[in-house]
Structure 1
């Protein structure tokens, strides 16, 4: 059957500019092809040879302009580090509810900590997310690149999160802080290497963005997904968006890019360029990287911030650990001149990172007040 003959439905997602509709083909879920979500060996990013770093950057550019998702192998984060963080996550989430609530985000001054089940709805047009999570924002005291916290410029410090609450609230688990901080630091180092790779991929000097990630918006989230029933038969394809139970709803990420570790149970689904849902299956030893909204904006839509979701149909508990990467909150960036062809206009106005993230996050925790059935589908 030709693509034009396949029935479609409209998928609504939140964006920084209001609801956006995507056309989705009503085809069975399938695994991604390597051409859609390639595996990229990024060991060359740590080479002293510029040509090796450029070779990796070219592969990243190809993936960023295609589906906007790719796996990275040989990324330098030891498996012992990810294994320890995974074990720490399971230990935390398997605790009684009252113990986890000691770390509730409601007790944090800076949005760190635990979010209980049925308290998050990342897509207001779908079900409440069937997940629990624990998040921790950038703290310069744990950044190896920061020699003296007292010397951070005031305009930067005003946005930073220095809070001991997450560790005080999990003091009953002595291994938790060590494992999570070690993983966070490893992701931070990798993120800065990838930022330089993205600069090269945009035909810029590889240090072009360095000053914008000195104190980055670098948030680690740990998601715990209990299993949900897998739809069967015609219902697997034809259910309306509002009828779907989701582990985490359909969305795009906010800032530059995300580095994701996922366990081997699977569940990550990506909406490809043709409008098909495809599985981003776990590949041993790799991490998943996906482009986020702010990077799509500053590249004038050259790079694709792709819709994705999670559905834990494995029958087992699932853990994922996304590390969200963005510029310093006080930074502002418009469309890069190098991403505007002759005769082409810039698609977006300049906006600060803090304003953009606030705009995107404003509906994230709402669990009522929206009706998918009554939502208007934009005409364009």
Structure 2
């Protein structure tokens, strides 16, 4: 008996090389398997033992080559720090619109602040994102590795690329806990991201600190995403909930720009990841873990050995959902090239200035629109 053919559809995506398409299976949504999205205990990346750090790096390598998505546990960010950020996030988004819109990113010099409903469309082929968000770019004064005493030592070429500003804090002064909790959480995310960067270097067979200077003043940003519930239609005689191209999205299908993203998600779920076969998988919430996914720049510098995977969010939980992403990359003033090439392969990508890379990705998003 012949195998049943699964219907497919075409997904359009932005890339630095223009619009690309992926073939997506119209098969039922399922949970990602541990073999696809493993849980990696990263406690040993903080170990004084190089062997123990390398053992974690090998697990990271396997996950990076497979799906480019994995969970991490024992990551070192205190639970109360995350909980405070989560509670402050809800307090902000549950305010009336007149109060929230005072921090509108459109009035900020560098785009830090609040984005209201119906103002974001990450993938226009999937409609407007059903979400609100609040974001803040890297600010060295909140970086424990820089500190106030180190601000005067920041090179001018670095300062030229910084996009921090006081505007979001001035416009949310009615909720001082928002700034306090975000700044503390940002500091923890910075420390974790630097440790993971060293782990990724080891995973590539490179000297552990090879990227240290490139992330001394990183291109990083911190976000709060607030997703109201959306409705999923029941289809077919069985009434089973099916995924459908015409359904609303909480955030549209995309890949991330930079090296990697660290994501905290609440217990309600909604994150979906597209595997190599073109099937959407649920990246369900797992208590006491964070999700790490690789970005386009990581795939580029590894000559496509590591994978930047398409993902999206659809909040069908019936409840408000929160996610807190931390986006991480080399400083915009830095230049980077392919750092590893497999035997028998040629280097696929030219050297690129990180500022130029981000510009290309943004232009690709605009082209998609």
1:165-224 C-alpha deviation (Å, 9 max, x unpaired): 111111000211110111111000000000000000000000000010001011001100
Q: 1:46-83 CA distances to partner (integer Å, 9 max, x unpaired)?
A: 11111111011000000000010000000000110110
With over 3 angstroms needed to count, the CA separation of the structure-2 counterparts of 1:144 and 1:232, relative to structure 1, is: same
1:255 and 2:261 matched? no
* Deviation, structure 1 residue 341: 2.4
Asked if structure 2 preserves the Cα contact closer than 8 Å seen for 1:265 and 1:282, the reply is: yes
What pairs up with 1:1-380 in 2 under 5 angstroms?
Answer: 5-146=5-146, 147-234=149-236, 237=242, 239-240=244-245, 243-336=246-339, 339-362=340-363, 364=365, 370=369
Structure 1 alignment gaps of length 5 or more:
371-380
TM-score, normalised on structure 1?
0.92
What SS does the corresponding residue of 1:148 show, helix, strand or coil? helix
Q: Which runs of 5+ in 2 are unaligned?
A: none
Taking structure 2 as the reference length, what is the TM-score of the superposition?
0.95
What secondary structure does 1:58 align onto? helix
Q: Deviations over 1:231-268 (max 9, x none)?
A: 3225965744xx33110000000000000000000000
The answer to whether the Cα contact below 8 Å between 2:120 and 2:129 also exists between their aligned partners in 1 is yes
RMSD: 1.7
Cα distance in 2 between the residues matched to 1:2 and 1:253 = 39
Tell me: CA distance 1:311–1:328, structure 2 relative to 1, closer, same or farther (3 Å): same
- Give the 3-state SS of the residue equivalent to 2:51 in structure 1: helix
Alpha-carbon shift at residue 18 of structure 1 (Å): 1.0
Question: Aligned partners of 1:16 and 1:237: how far apart in 2?
Answer: 32
Aligned residue in 2 for 1:377 = none
Instruction: Work out the CA distance in 2 between the residues paired with 1:117 and 1:363.
Output: 23
For 1:270 and 1:192, locate their aligned partners in 2 and report how far apart those are by CA, in whole Å: 25
8 Å contact from structure 2 (residues 29, 243) kept in 1: no
In structure 2, distance between residues paired with 1:3 and 1:361: 42
> Shift in Å at residue 124 of structure 1?
2.4
Residues of 1 paired with 2:347 and 2:7: CA distance? 34
Aligned length: 364
